[in-house]
Amino acid sequence: MRTQVAIVGAGPAGLLLGHLLRSEGIDCVVVERQTGDYVLSRIRAGVLEQVTVGLMERLGLDARMKAEGLPHDGFNLTDGGRLIRIDIAALTGKQVMVYGQTEITRDLMEAAPERGLEVIYEAADVALHDVESDAPFITYSRDGAQHRIDARIIAGCDGFHGPSRQAIPASVGRAFERVYPFGWLGVLADVPPCNHELIYANHERGFALASMRSPTRSRYYIDVPLTEKIEDWSDERVWDELAIRLGPDAAAHITRGPSIEKSIAPLRSFVFEPMRHGSLLLCGDSAHIVPPTGAKGLNLAASDVHYASEALVRFFKANDVDAIPGYPDKALARVWKSERFSWSLTKLMHRFPEDGPFERRMQVAELDYIASSEAARTAIAENYVGLPV
Ligand code: RFL
Ligand code: PHB
């Protein structure tokens, strides 16, 4: 098979890029290791920035998001007794959209056949070849047969563990990494959220987040040491811990119920440079990871795809040979700002095992400053709604 762009991975980055390229008449094929159902079963992001909402609008795939998504004007930070509201609408004139990654992926997946976007699921042993040349190709096996896709460009949208980043020689690439000494234990439950806006809590027992997917579906997180096993966290134990960490006001409104998903995800900051090597572009989690505290991962995947699709349109339709080499700098400038924000909010809202009384006083002072300064709240708000692309 021959195509213009071979896309590895059918997560949000791969599917968004595929749709954007098809809408411009550029040929592409998406190759995914898992089944479609498996991709949809991963419970991940919940908060969309304007860049992500805007791409769905541009594709005309925003009807369900507009009908079922929850626009939010603000979110809250709590520490001990006080609640600091970040009024993002008043401070930036913008909103964020609470609409699950599962739903956005489903919308993109279901629209693929009618938009002529071919997605090959259950492709095993995907390998990238000749990425330094102008004629790269990928190989994979499916149903016992070997397949090959020849392309002009390969887009690596295969997440943190995929093969695309590994196809860049170690002598060319550089990784920047910070691993955190805890993970987030998340639960999804069909119960009404305890608050109409998100609450991020820094409690002496650790971090907690109250989030949601709909008026009847809640998403909660607590941070736990990486040594914890999910089997040791009964639903009751999670609800008890959430009630303590979120504080009495939120606890009074928590509705408990059986979890429909419960898992622990490690936290990491990671950036791989450059995001291009020869004819290979990296987009999304394949090139970078943020801790989820800033709700930035999916949104960064969307902004990468925005820059990559722009570059690919210029390359294929206007024969602009500088477009592809220009992609990494544009994408990375935004990536590093989101890395900084996610890291700083993680440091502000978590109790690190190595921290002592000095670091705690620093957190309290910073929260005092945020509570008292509109300038500080504006800086948080404009990062949270998403910096411009
Ligand atoms: P994905 O979603 O990992 O998709 C990559 C796809 O590539 C496939 N793949 C392969 N395909 C073929 N061959 C191979 N060898 C392959 N290896 C892998 C995979 O099966 C998969 O389908 O990466 P992508 O598209 O870059 O999207 C990134 C986002 O998924 C991620 O950044 C977010 O989920 C992060 N994130 C959040 N982001 C936000 O913007 N807002 C949030 O509120 C938010 N909350 C979260 C999060 C991530 C979390 N976890 C579990 C990591 C909350 C959590 C708990
Ligand atoms: C979520 O709803 O899954 C969510 C919300 C905000 C975050 C992270 C995750 O910062």
**Which residue's C-alpha comes closest to atom 5 of ligand 2?**
46
Q: Is 206 in the same domain as 280?
A: no
Tally of structural domains, the chain: 2
| Residue 184 identity | W
Q: In 3D, which of 218, 155, 208 has the Cα closest to residue 187?
A: 218
Can you tell me whether residue 385 is helix, strand or coil? helix
Q: Is residue 304 exposed (0-12), middle (13-18) or buried (19+ Cβ within 10 Å)? A: buried
For residue 373, being part of any structural domain is answered with yes
- Known catalytic residue: 200? yes
Whether 81 is covered by a domain: the verdict is no
178 Ramachandran zone, left/alpha/beta (phi>0; psi -120 to 50): beta
Residue 125 lies in a domain: yes
160 within a domain of the structure (yes/no): yes
Report pLDDT for 43.
Answer: 83
Together in a domain, 252 and 206: yes
Verify that 29 and 124 share a domain, yes or no. Answer: yes
pTM for this entry: 0.97
Examine residue 77 and state whether it is found in any structural domain, yes or no.
no
Query: Is 295 a domain residue?
Result: yes
153, 136 contact by CB (below 8 A): yes
Q: Are 103 and 62 in contact (CB under 8 A)?
A: no
Q: Please check whether residue 104 lies inside any domain of the structure.
A: yes
CA of 159 to the centre of ligand 1 (A): 6
**Tell me, what's the pLDDT at 80?**
82
Concerning whether 296 is annotated as a catalytic residue, the answer is yes
Atom 48 (ligand 1) nearest CA? 44
Kindly state the tokens that stand for 178: 């910070």
Tens digits of residue pLDDT in 347-360? 999 999 999 999 99
Residue ranges for the chain with pLDDT beneath 50: none
- pLDDT at 81 (0 to 100): 83
Which of 72, 219, 299 for a ligand 2 pocket mutation test, highest count of atoms within 8 Å of Cβ?
Answer: 219
Q: Which two tokens stand for residue 356?
A: 């002592």
Q: Whose CA is nearest to atom 45 of ligand 1?
A: 45
Per the structure, the complete domain to which residue 242 belongs is given by: 181-267+347-385
Domain match, 166 and 186 both: no
Distance 46 CA to ligand 2 centre (A): 5
Whether residue 329 sits in one domain with residue 210: no
Question: Same domain for 235 and 273?
Answer: no
Assess whether 192 and 259 both reside in one domain: yes
- CATH number for position 11: 3.50.50.60
Answer yes or no: do 41 and 161 share one domain: yes
Residue 84, in any domain of the structure: no
Sheet of strand 82-86, all strands in order from the earlier edge strand to the far edge: 82-86, 75-79, 199-203, 206-214, 217-225, 174-189, 259-273, 288-289
Residue 181 is a catalytic residue: no
Q: How far apart (Å, rounded) are the C-alpha atoms in residues 90 and 378?
A: 9
pLDDT tens digit string along 3-19? 999 999 999 999 999 99
325 and 234 housed in the same domain? no
Ligand nearest to the CA of 214: 2
Residue type, 232: D
Sheet with strand 280-282: strands edge to edge:
118-120, 28-31, 5-8, 153-156, 280-282, 276-277
Q: Are 49 and 172 part of one and the same domain?
A: yes
Measured between alpha carbons, how far is 72 from 97 in angstroms, rounded to an integer?
6
CA 184 – CA 223 distance, rounded (Å): 4
In this structure, are residues 126 and 146 in contact, taking their beta carbons and an 8 Å threshold? no
Do 25 and 46 lie in one domain? The reply is yes
Annotation marks residue 306 as catalytic: no
DSSP conformational letter for 230:
G
Q: Is 72 a catalytic residue?
A: yes
Are 318 and 328 found together in one domain? Answer: yes
Question: What separation in Å is there between the alpha carbon of 292 and the centre of ligand 2?
Answer: 7
Q: What's the gap in Å between 111 CA and the centre of ligand 1? A: 20
β-bridge mates for residue 187, sequence order: 220, 262
